[in-house]
Amino acid sequence: MNIVVVGAQWGDEGKGKVVDLFSSRADLIVRFQGGNNAGHTLVVNGKKTVLHLIPSGILHAEKLCLLGNGVVIDPLVFFEEVEGLKKAGVLGENASERIKISDRAHLILPYHRQLDVLREARASGEKSHEKIGTTGRGIGPAYEDKAARRGIVVGDLLDPEWLAKRLRSALEEKNVLFQHHFGEKPVEFEPLYQLCLDLGKKLNPFITDVRLLIEEARRKNETILLEGAQGALLDIDHGTYPYVTSSSTCSGGALTGTGLGLGHGKTEVIGITKAYTTRVGTGPFPTEIENTNPALAQQIRKVGAEFGATTGRMRRVGWLDLVALRYSAELNGVTGWALMKSDVLSGIEELEVATEYELDGKRIQHFPPSAAQLSRVRPITRKVRGWQEPLDGLSPEQWPETFRAYIRMIEEFTQIPVVLVSTGPGREQTHEIRVPSALR
């Protein structure tokens, strides 16, 4: 049985918390896309752990966590995270028995990071439409090399001769860009090659054919938890292109990013959504309230701690967008919602929720395919009464009627049940309304 956890909005919905919760009942936890652009803040027993690359299942001592072929790996960040988890007492000397990295996963090397940062810095003035507001971690340039067949995969680090050939070819083109487009110094082959060889030696115990481990688990009918990063609206194919990340963030990415086949067994897809919406970086955002009600945006940001776990950037804030959520449900085949951060809206008298859009004078019910269209959209919102009392400490039976009505509205609009409700950052502030069958 498989269970996929995906972000249903523009990321930062709280996937890490849900993966952490589900992990105790899964056999394998697998990240399938993205890299250290993600940031999962987990609070367990009042202690905060921030993860960027390693799956959130790592906090469960006996679980095996895998980084699939669809992930892009910055080895320097990976080792930093492993060290951090060792210091926190989460990992011991057996780190390489707990985490495995696919030999097919592509590497983020220093020149990818440099390119990402240079491009973003250039996108100002007349070129400001080119600014994506990336995390600057080299994600786009690494995926770009993968598609261009110029990438270096993790397994290449273990074959010095082959690695030298691959690295020379990659640098030949990169250096034209660095020198002639950006006016920077070329990247020298030798020090980078040495760095890669060293990283290969250190990474070796972690590297394996992750797909085989997944296949073994599948044959034994084990529960495989597939952990997504970012969110559906940042998907390279289905998101608000070009203001997206460079990977397949939807549930389809769980297949290509691990080597799992489409027809195997039953899969449940849990879509994670906040009770409102946030977005980091540039790009259209129909229900944004930053301009219409900056004080409220500020309040939600403060109460919800809406600052990026990776970059510390301020997140843009908006109302819940049901048009976008239904789109996301369709793209992902969502079977149940996890509704996060409802506690943040406590005390707001009247809430708004987008149920339709107006585009160029016409009412539409679907999420438009182009970012240009989406930026012209005016959301048609429904006003609903908020819940005045804090939700923390209340059991579902004690929830205020207005909050229950909010949940029903999401279920009725999307025709998908809310299976989990989170009312605070701690593990204990999570209410499982209906346990996904893969985890029973």
The window from 136-144, 162-170, 265-273, 343-351 that contacts ligand IMP (CB under 6 A) reads 136-144
Min separation Cβ 195 and ligand IMP, Å: 22
**Contact residue for ligand IMP among 2, 3, 12, 100 (CB under 6 A):** 12
Site string for ligand IMP, 199-238 (x = CB under 6 A): ------------------------------xx---x----
The sign of the CA dihedral 49, 53, 57, 58 is: negative
Of 1, 2, 9, 11, which lies in the binding site for ligand IMP, with binding defined by CB under 6 A?
11
Select the residue interacting with ligand IMP from 19, 28, 95, 139 (CB under 6 A): 139
Residues 160-199 that bind ligand IMP (CB under 6 A): none
| In the complex, minimum distance from the CB of residue 55 to ligand IMP, in angstroms, rounded to a whole number | 14
Q: List all residues 6 or more positions away from 380 whose beta carbon is below 8 Å from its beta carbon.
A: 354, 355, 356, 357, 358, 363
The contact pattern for ligand IMP, residues 335-354, with x = CB under 6 A and - = no contact, is: --------------------
238 is catalytic: no
Is 12 among the catalytic positions? yes
Decide whether 135 or 346 has the Cβ nearer to ligand IMP. 135
Of 6, 59, 90, 132, which lies in the binding site for ligand IMP, with binding defined by CB under 6 A? 132
Are 72 and 139 in contact by the 8 Å Cβ rule? The answer is yes
Instruction: Among 56, 135, 287, 342, indicate the residue that binds ligand IMP (CB under 6 A).
Output: 135
Which chain residues interact with ligand IMP by CB under 6 A?
10-12, 37-39, 132-135, 137, 139-140, 229-230, 234, 243, 245-246, 280-281
Q: Which residues are catalytic?
A: 12, 40
